[in-house]
Amino acid sequence: MKKPAFRISTGASLLSVAVLLVSASGVRAAPPLPVEQLTGGHTVKTAPADRIYVMDAVFFHLTDSRLNQFDRSTGKFLGMIPTSFNGHAQLSKDGKQVYVATTYFERVTRGERTDVVEVWDNDKLSFMREIKIPPKRAGALNYDGMFRQTGDGRFVLVQNATPAASVSVIDMKNSTFVDEITSTAGCWSIIPLPGTPRSFSTICGDGALLSITLGDDGKVASQKRSEPMFPVKDDPIFITPGRLSDGLVFVSFYGNVYTARLQKDGAMKFAPVWSLLDESDRAKRWVPGGYNLLAVEPRSERLYIFMHPDGVEGSHKNPAAEIWVYDLKTRKRVARVPGKDALSMSVVQGKKPQLLTIDGANVNIYDISNPEPKLVRTITGAAESALQVMGYAGGGNG
């Protein structure tokens, strides 16, 4: 028997070994194939808007988080961006770049801490540059409000917690850290205000919204604190907002809906509070639950929210038994569909709006052109343990 030569020259791939083995068994050897060319990153041909982005915290080994990307119409895995320790990610307004907020410790799990905002090329999935920020970013799960950007995309905003709460402002045009806003002490989560280039709100410990407008230099130009919007002890709200074209919708642990509309003078006007629940819902103790647990499709003004029955104190992060849909104009429930144990969602705007949900691992994609969400695709194993799934809607993902 002719023995194959197992000496592998530099650059030979495993494939060559396979070819040699085949020839050893007497089958005619295939012509040698070219060794894979490394190009310094993938080239993803699917347009940014046609992808789904899954921020995988890989909760059981958080030092290794990554942003997984999938083709929205086939569910095919396209590639990933490494986001290091408990990374947070968002797209630039034009979708061409991915911004990552993350933390590096000198020795991975110890040593000097460096926090950065990184810019990644969203087509090559390759690193472009980084901006050092104060090593104070919140060690939080991937709630949307931990890492946002202004409506015009000029400034990126990072929620800090030392545990004193502050907000870092990063200028993405000049690639510089601008400022740490400390007037947000006692307030939590960054909510860019719809229809504004440079304003965001944050939810304060007394139930008020603090709204801040940045100037061209990224520094605080003005700020306004509202009257308390909700009674903090009696009816705490989820920090996840639904975004209207001119305002925000919040829901409390007990299923009450708080609507804040932004006035021309920058003030917030609160609509009367209403409840998602009717008497029979209350009898079965239906309550909202999850992480990024609700979303509004602003064109239809429909609210999507994860709900579960038999709610108790502490069940506010339970998975969804159902997704309930409300028409915010009539304040009526217009649909309810199985929740598939989802924990987070987001809405992708556009001509054919979609609802994306994730249960930690699996993504469900729903067509939401009609009041009742229609499941169109499931991507199984989209993450190890992820609490954030995103699309891209031409900069509308504030």
Distance of CA 81 to the CA centre of its chain: 14
Among the listed residues 101, 387, 389, 390, the single contact to ligand PNZ using CB under 6 A: 387
Q: What's the residue count for the chain? A: 398
- Of the candidates 360, 373, 391, 398, which one interacts with ligand PNZ according to CB under 6 A? 360
Write phi, then psi, for 364 (nearest 5 degrees).
-115, 135
Letters for 262-301 (x = contact with ligand PNZ by CB under 6 A, - = none) are ----------------------------------------
Q: From the list 386, 389, 390, 393, which residue makes contact with ligand PNZ (rule: CB under 6 A)?
A: 386
Q: Least CB distance from residue 57 to ligand PNZ, whole Å?
A: 6
Q: Which of 135, 385, 395, 396 lies at the binding interface for ligand PNZ (CB under 6 A)?
A: 385
Rounded to a whole number of angstroms, the minimum distance from the CB of residue 141 to ligand PNZ is 6
- How many residues sit close enough to ligand PNZ to count as binding (CB under 6 A)? 7
Instruction: Report residue 160 CA to chain centroid gap.
Output: 17
CA distance 220 to 233: 30
- Residue keyed to tokens 């926090």: 115
By CB under 6 A, which span of 212-220, 243-251, 374-382, 385-393 interacts with ligand PNZ?
Answer: 385-393
Q: How far is CA 52 from the centre of its chain?
A: 11
Alpha carbons 377 and 234: distance in angstroms, whole number:
40
398 in Cβ contact with 148 (< 8 Å): yes
Which of residues 343, 347, 348, 355 is near ligand PNZ by CB under 6 A?
343
Residue closer to ligand PNZ (CB basis): 88 or 243: 88
Task: Kindly state whether residue 393 participates in binding ligand PNZ, applying the rule CB under 6 A.
Answer: no
363 binds ligand PNZ (CB under 6 A): no
The answer to whether the CB of 202 falls within 8 A of the CB of 178 is no
Pairing of strands 176-181, 268-270: unpaired
- Site of tokens 């002890």: 233
Which residues make beta-bridge pairs with 335? 325
The whole-angstrom distance between residue 61's C-alpha and the CA centroid of its chain comes to 19
Rounded CA gap, 308 and 342, in Å?
A: 11
Contact region with ligand PNZ (CB under 6 A), list: 6-14, 110-118, 147-155, 383-391: 383-391
Nearer to ligand PNZ, 82 or 319 (CB): 319
Give the residue with the Cβ less far from ligand PNZ, 118 or 341.
Answer: 341
Measured at CB, which residue is nearest to ligand PNZ? 360
Chain residues that interact with ligand PNZ, rule: CB under 6 A: 59, 141, 343, 360, 385-387
